[in-house]
Amino acid sequence: MSDILVIGGGIAGLASAARLSHLGRVMLLERETALGYHASGRSAAMFEETYGLPTTIALNQASRAYHAEANGGVLSPRGLMLVARAGEEAAFEADLQTMQMDALSPSEAAAMIPILDLGVITQAGYRAYAWDIDTDRLMQNFARELRANGGEIHTGAEVTSIRRDGGTWHITTTDERTFSAQILVNAAGAWVDQIAALAGVAPVGITPLRRSMARLPAPDGHDVAHWPMLFGPGETWYAKPDAGALIVSPADEEPTPPMDAWADDMVLAEGLARFEAHVTLPVTRLLANWAGLRSFAPDRQLVIGEDPAAPGFFWCAGQGGYGFQTAPAYSALLADLVAGRVPEVGADLAAALSPNRFGGA
């Protein structure tokens, strides 16, 4: 028997398990045969403090020092550029202000990303304070912390039943293994409402949204390593250097059931066309394409805390597209709540993220 059992081996589950391992014996269960298989393995991997709702921005800010310093840090400089064409002025100005960007002339932008089409680009903005996250290293760091504190990770452990007897949760997996713990943490990503249902807990209404991605060869032999991430007003598309290539996404958000997602060809084509409309070189081939699920609560804020109707059942859900960049803060908040400590991120932020906002007993 463990003190705490965490369901989900993505960044949410790993970060939470690592933090909780300082409080007692922790067991982590992941249905796939590898950690970070779904959304966590398909992330754009950016840290940008001004990205998200106010509560998400607060978590970003509370996570920055950890990302920069813990275990040697996981950040490397990237930068963020916004470009617009005629007719996109209102959306451009809104993003420029929200993301605290400095205005650039189109020619200044093209000096940084030479494939920009100066015949159509009318406005540009830039923010230097945006970083790539080494997501693999971050996940390994959390896994190492968990194991160093005596915690265990079990992959290939899909949960099939959950029941509570007295003050203990009992979990069975597909291979008929059984686990038990006093505290159960639901960090199952797109599957969190399904896990809640198995436990007899009311869902909070998490909706998985598909996001499609394509990897393109570096355009015309350019060295893209130091290009900033590029996006269009209203986040209608983005492009990001990655391992010598470019990742391009239509930034789609299509509701879908929890699944091993794949890219929609038509949606991907539309996103690539929006990218092409801002650059001088056409997209001639793809190296790969894929999709991930970004899971949101109805109000698009994270859900962190104990269920009001199920003592000992804690949610760590609704990370959406912010799971990696906010992980240090929300995992620390979860550990504070499980330990009964005053939340380091502040009582107001903890209350805003609590599942209590959805009602319950």
Q: SS3 letters for 97-153?
A: HHCCCEEECHHHHHHHCCCECCCCEEEEEEECCCEEECHHHHHHHHHHHHHHCCCEE
Domains of the chain and any CATH numbers: 2-64+134-205+298-358 (3.50.50.60), 80-128+207-296 (3.30.9.10)
Tokens coding 112: 């940084």
pLDDT tens readout for residues 177-230: 999 999 999 999 999 999 999 999 999 999 999 999 999 999 988 999 999 999
pLDDT tens readout for residues 295-342: 999 999 999 999 999 999 999 999 998 999 999 999 999 999 999 999
- The mean pLDDT of 105-109, rounded to a whole number, is 98
For the cut 80, the answer to whether the pLDDT of residue 41 exceeds it is no
Interatomic CA distance for residues 299 and 260, integer angstroms: 24
Query: Confidence band (pLDDT; 50, 70, 90) for 361?
Result: very low
- The mean pLDDT of 248-262, rounded to a whole number, is 93
For the entire predicted model, the pTM comes to 0.95
- Does 50 or 116 have the greater pLDDT score? 116
For the cut 80, the answer to whether the pLDDT of residue 359 exceeds it is no
